[in-house]
Amino acid sequence: MQQPGGGADGMAPTAPGKGAFASAHTRDALPRVIWRYRTAGMAFGALAIAAVLVEQGAGPLRWAFCLATGFAWPHIAWWLARRSGSPFEAEQRNLVFDSVLAAAWVPLLHFNLLPSVLLLALPAADKINSDVPGLLRRSVLPALAALLVAGLAAGFVFEPASSIPVILASLPMLLVHTMMVSLQRVQLLRKLILKNEALGRLAQTDVVTGLALRGHWEREAARLLERARADAAPAVLALVDVDGFKQVNDGHGHLAGDALLRAAGALLLRTLRPGDAAGRYGGDEFAVVFPDTTMAEAARLAEAYRAAVQAIELQQAPGLSLSVSIGLAEARPDHGRIEDWIQAADDALYEAKRRGRNRLVVAAAADAPQGDSIA
């Protein structure tokens, strides 16, 4: 028969992302994250153990051990990790010790089946969940040794039958562990999705202007043309080109040129309405699709943008007068491909340049020979 003792187990679902590939930030935050899980897990482990101890009529030593490992160990583990020069390594030792504590309890509980299985299985699951390579393997021998030593010290008594009260007291440990692991996985998945979305946006965004990159814009513009044709709805494509941009580069340097592109891009983004699609089409050329928009409305928006560009003040070139030329083309039934629509707007842009720049030109209707100048 063994001596009275008592204790909790190491049911501490570990945080995901703390493996070999975890970032330095994640690694530093690990002890605090695990501390929360360990505190909850140990407390529920202690509940299951306490149920068996009650049935055993265990003495004060075992109860003290139960309280110490159930309620003191999580805080000791956190303290050990925090004072360590390498919290990540210290936390790995703590995780191994979770298994040692849990395994030591198996003979002390007389191999009471349900809590014993949970005490061995859940810490093992934590090691796998931790994603630390080899951690499960490293914890097996110390756990077996702890089981053996505790068995030798307290005697190997085999009473595997779990009573209903013990089963009921063990369930919270199982349920809480399962829920915590699931929650962690969901949180990780959500973070991953958000990061992937942000990366996707980054990969589709021009760093200078903040507008969509050409390929991405073209796909979106093609989709909007398709929609306009299917719904027989009006839509307008605008091509914007900065006037005399080469002179800005040549006269004030490429940094000034970049600053102009950045300012013009930001201004364009502010001019747009939700649903409008803007992109950087080329060096100093931007493109916008105004879906569900009449030419009159698109021209009003484009004109507002043209006028606003004139007010841009470049720090690198104070007093420099800036302007853009804009070509506008309405989506037409004979625009079978996005290239046709772009070509129509480009012709209008060319016309705006030809007529002296700093103006809007609307592409000629299918049967008209000349574009309309608006500004």
Ligand X SMILES: Nc1nc2c(ncn2[C@@H]2O[C@H](COP(=O)(O)OP(=O)(O)OP(=O)(O)O)[C@@H](O)[C@H]2O)c(=O)[nH]1
Per CB under 6 A, the list member of 254, 273, 300, 354 interacting with ligand X is 254
Torsional class of 149: left (φ above 0), alpha (ψ -120 to 50), beta (otherwise): alpha
- Among 9, 218, 243, 276, which residue interacts with ligand X (rule: CB under 6 A)? 243
36 binds ligand X (CB under 6 A): no
Binding mask 318-357 vs ligand X (x if CB under 6 A, - otherwise)? -----------------------------------x----
First to last CA, the chain: 100
What is the C-alpha separation between 157 and 33, in angstroms, rounded?
37
**Considering only CA atoms, which of 130, 129, 122, 125 is closest in space to residue 106?**
122
Say which amino acid occupies 251. Answer: G
Burial string for 152-167 (b: 16+ CB within 10 Å, else e) reads eebeeeeeeebeeebb
CA distances from 90 to 228, 245, 315, 324 (A): 62, 59, 53, 62
DSSP conformation class of 365: P
* 39 contacts ligand X (rule: CB under 6 A): no
Which x/- pattern, by CB under 6 A, does the window 121-160 give for ligand X?
Answer: ----------------------------------------
Answer for which of 9, 126, 241, 330 binds ligand X (CB under 6 A) is 241
**Interface residue with ligand X, options 251, 283, 336, 356 (CB under 6 A):** 283
Q: Which two tokens stand for residue 302?
A: 């484009």
Q: Which is nearer to ligand X, 142 or 244 (CB)?
A: 244
Select 1 or 203, whichever has its Cβ closest to ligand X. 203
Total interface residues for ligand X by CB under 6 A: 15
Nearest residue to 282 via CA among 239, 325, 251, 331: 239
Return the range that interacts with ligand X (CB under 6 A); candidates 20-28, 176-184, 187-195, 244-252.
244-252
Which listed range, 13-21, 217-225, 257-265, 269-277, lies at the site for ligand X (CB under 6 A)?
257-265
Given 15, 174, 240, 242, the residue binding ligand X (CB under 6 A): 242
Q: Does 206 bind ligand X (CB under 6 A)?
A: no
The H-assigned helical ranges of the chain are 24-56, 60-67, 73-83, 87-108, 113-130, 135-154, 164-203, 214-231, 245-252, 254-271, 295-309, 338-354
CB of 256 to ligand X, least distance (A): 8
286 makes contact with ligand X (CB under 6 A): no
Least CB distance to ligand X at residue 282 (A): 7
Shortest separation between residue 42's beta carbon and ligand X, angstroms: 58
User: Interface with ligand X by CB under 6 A: which residues?
Assistant: 208, 241-246, 249, 254, 257-258, 261, 283-284, 353
